[in-house]
Amino acid sequence: MLQLFIPANKVQKDRKIMRETDARMAKYSRRGLILNLFAFLLCLALGDFYKQVPNYATGLAVGLLLITLWRGYFLFRFESLYPRAPARWRTHYFWASFVGAGWWSVIIVSITWVVGMQNDTLLIWLYSVVFYSSVANVFAPYRRFLGLYLFIGQIPAAGVAILLGTWEGYIYGITMLVFYLLLDHQGEVTSRTYWDRLEAQFNLDQHAKSLELEKRDSEAAAELKNTFLTRFGGELRTSLNDILGALSLLDDSELTPSQRELLALANKAGERQLNLVHSAIDFSNASNENLVLDHSIFNLWKLIEHVVEDVSHDAYQQEVELNHVLDSETPVRVKGDAQRLQQVLINLLSHAIKYSSSGDVFFKSEFVLKSNEQGELQITVVDQHAEISNTEKDIDGAEGTNKQGDDIPLGITLCKGLAECMNGSLQVFEEPGLGTQYYFNITLETTSKSPKSLAVNPQLRNKKMLLVGIPKSIEDSFLIEMETWGMQLDTAQDADAAINLLEDANTQEAPFDGVLIYTLVKSLELVELAKRLLATEAFAKLPQVLVTTLQQRAKSDVAALFNQPHLINLLKPVLRGNLHQAVVEALIKTEEQPQIGHQHDHKQGVGKRILLVDDHRVNQMVSKGMLQKLGYKVTLANNGKEALAALEEQMYNLVLMDCQMPEMDGYTATAAIRKQEAEQGTENPLPIIAMTAHAGKSDQSKCFAAGMSDYLAKPVSYEQLELSLKRWLGKSD
């Protein structure tokens, strides 16, 4: 008989460890047996397969039931059968599982062949994907068995899907093949990691016993565990780097949009795990008093905004509404460890989003000055859900209860450790009506007490605007911010109330100048309000700012709205600068500007082409609008990599380059362009003008050092842009 598992080391020969491994496999397999039977019966009850071949379907169900009983004999009698002969129990169960996988494969193949890629098939395929994903982790310790099990269960299904000869069949078949390869690779990595971890733990236990026999104190054992955690984290980090590197190679392949989306999700998940490993190593170093904190000046406002933007995209993909309030008094420049502060904030928000039971997470940032040299950053994260216990989570203890698990989650523990290393604290509470609340604070040195300034367009003063659908938790922040711009504001929570206010204002001859509509992640109800206004003669030309997520923006019916000249899209998360730019674009773009003083040359750029490189959509829209108004032809690139590709395809007269962008920043892209020009012996280098929010002298020096020709600090006015381009390109002939 084929040997599916041969013990290769002391760990695999240890009866206690092997019993724990087999007991875990048996425990989760019991659930799988019941779920398999239930899933197939549900498919028969809801689909067309039973209607088309009732006798055959009944035979499959009876066969599945018999195999389930056979496998169940080994699983539910584990405690009595296993002690007699562990190896024999394991071998018998492996072969019974092969029969079960083969029968399940027959079921999938039969349904796919008879029904095609219809509802029945999609249901059973979806269940199979979820089932084999969980099985791969449970069976991973037995690598050879897992590989054969996955092959029997998945490859025939993939083959018959391809044989259908339809596009759906090709897609599902190839996806299943790729899924099989990924699970097989995951099983190999997990198996190796599992046994390495147990072997390391086994050796650690043996060493701990020797320490106990030698009467070593408990601190030595704790130090050994921390050393192990650091080394294990280093190994895991290396593996994650390999995985992320392989995924990055796939990014250059020809992939379908859905495959590219899955690849992006895998990359982001890997980066999160890598960040968690970094946090774990930092926590371990902190426990050993080996953690060295950075103490340098950084932009606190930008860091918080970056965290909100980064985490928001994940929240919206999970249909979690992330609302935020950022204290306008937060100073721009402070001194501290920016990297570890960002780690804590990302881990904290990601945990709150992941375990949000209400789909509504609120993030608030405040900065309180404690002296002329120091201030306290206070972060509050609240998950508002219904069923709350009135207990405080004891993070200091390892046995604290948690609604999401048996113990305090690792991420929260790491956040607390890092917070304390930075002379801060982290507390977690659960209170009736307020959900789970996270309070994080840290003391930072202030290098400047000046908050971030916003260049407000003076033409917004006395503009009257209606805000519709703003959540109550952030409504005040919207009102306070926009009132400081000199605007007159009113609010409504639903479409009917908004229509009534607009009609009343027209009747009283005090109409609104515009309306801002805020959609929720799980609802596009207020999009209908935008459509109603466009379809109503009295409001058809009323400027609208429609706030959506990127996922909502991609829907065809929503995207079509933005072809309307009076409707502007503002993507979540709504940051202060983006809000101002969107409101200005909506309310002022169509107004006739007074022709006083400098007269703009709208034919200045005729016949000249500019490459605009910026990753922010609102900045793209505003800059592109100004450039087109000056007569330039504009091509957009979202990052440095896209800019280099665009320059390969076409000649441009000038490049406007943002500095901070994903994938490849403006400094790197500019250096690459200058290097290529030097290799080609270009006599007239391409003018590259930096457009960035970094306005310090060191930032300007960095731009010039990278090879940029000029520098424009955001926000860039129309006049500044016009004069700068005229200086480098002159007037059109």
236 in any annotated domain:
yes
**Cα(502)–Cα(495) distance, integer angstroms:** 11
Does residue 597 surpass a pLDDT of 50? Answer: no
More confident residue, 234 or 628: 628
Confidence of residue 593 (pLDDT cuts 50, 70, 90): very low
Confidence of residue 598 (pLDDT cuts 50, 70, 90): very low
**Cα(281)–Cα(274) distance, integer angstroms:** 11
Residue 239 belongs to domain with CATH number: 1.10.287
Residues 42 and 156 in one domain: yes
Domain end position, chosen among 292, 327, 355: 292
203 in any annotated domain:
no
Beta bridge partners of 568: 545
Cβ atoms of 690 and 711 within 8 Å: the answer is yes
Residue 81: which domain range? 10-193
Element (H, E) at 489: strand 488-492
224-251: average pLDDT:
64
**Cα(303)–Cα(305) distance, integer angstroms:** 5
Cβ atoms of 663 and 641 within 8 Å: the answer is yes
Confidence of residue 17 (pLDDT cuts 50, 70, 90): confident
What is residue 387's predicted lDDT score, i.e. its pLDDT? 37
Residues 75 and 173 in one domain: yes
Residues 382 and 517 in one domain: no
Domain end position, chosen among 446, 477, 501: 446
Q: What angle do helix axes 119-139 and 167-213 make, rounded to 10 degrees?
A: 20
Residue 662 belongs to domain with CATH number: 3.40.50.2300
The CA-atom distances, in angstroms, between 298 and each of 444, 445, 621, 691 are: 11, 11, 29, 20
Domain end position, chosen among 446, 474, 492: 446
Distance from CA of residue 453 to its chain's centroid? 29
Is beta strand 464-468 parallel, antiparallel or unpaired with respect to 633-637? unpaired
Residue 386 belongs to domain with CATH number: 3.30.565.10
Cβ atoms of 710 and 675 within 8 Å: the answer is no
429 in any annotated domain:
yes
Residue type, 118: Q
Residues 149 and 288 in one domain: no
Does residue 728 surpass a pLDDT of 90? Answer: no
What is residue 501's predicted lDDT score, i.e. its pLDDT? 92
Radius of gyration of the chain (CA): 31
Element (H, E) at 536: none
Does residue 649 surpass a pLDDT of 70? Answer: yes
53 in any annotated domain:
yes
Does residue 681 surpass a pLDDT of 80? Answer: yes
User: DSSP letters along 31-100, please?
Assistant: HHHHHHHHHHHHHHHHSSHHHH-HHHHHHHHHHHHHHHHHHHHHHHTHHHHTTT-HHHHHHHHHHHHHHH
Confidence of residue 1 (pLDDT cuts 50, 70, 90): very low
205 in any annotated domain:
no
What is residue 500's predicted lDDT score, i.e. its pLDDT? 92
More confident residue, 537 or 621: 537
Residues 26 and 156 in one domain: yes
Residues 32 and 150 in one domain: yes
Residues 533 and 647 in one domain: no
What is residue 390's predicted lDDT score, i.e. its pLDDT? 38
Backbone angles phi, psi at 681, to 5 degrees: 70, 40
505 in any annotated domain:
yes
What is residue 53's predicted lDDT score, i.e. its pLDDT? 87
Residues 563 and 416 in one domain: no
The pLDDT tens digits of the residues spanning 486-540 come to 999 999 999 999 999 999 998 888 899 999 999 988 888 888 899 989 888 888 8
Residues 99 and 112 in one domain: yes
More confident residue, 438 or 6: 438
Confidence of residue 164 (pLDDT cuts 50, 70, 90): confident
Percent of the chain with pLDDT strictly greater than 90: 13
What is residue 702's predicted lDDT score, i.e. its pLDDT? 82
Return the DSSP state at 717.
P
336-348: average pLDDT:
86
Element (H, E) at 435: strand 435-446
The CA-atom distances, in angstroms, between 93 and each of 21, 76, 89, 579 are: 14, 12, 6, 62
**Cα(432)–Cα(384) distance, integer angstroms:** 10
Tokens of 175: 């996806």
Residues 423 and 527 in one domain: no
How many beta carbons lie within 10 A of that of residue 506, not counting itself? Answer: 14
User: What is the count of structural domains for the chain?
Assistant: 5
The CA-atom distances, in angstroms, between 309 and each of 306, 337, 404 are: 5, 20, 25
Confidence of residue 398 (pLDDT cuts 50, 70, 90): very low
604 in any annotated domain:
no
185-202: average pLDDT:
84
Task: Assign 140 to helix, strand or coil.
Answer: coil
201 in any annotated domain:
no
Does residue 405 surpass a pLDDT of 60? Answer: no
Residues 67 and 167 in one domain: yes
Instruction: Give the closest residue to 388 by CA, choosing from 403, 374, 378.
Output: 403
Residues 170 and 28 in one domain: yes
Instruction: Give the closest residue to 126 by CA, choosing from 164, 165, 176, 52.
Output: 176
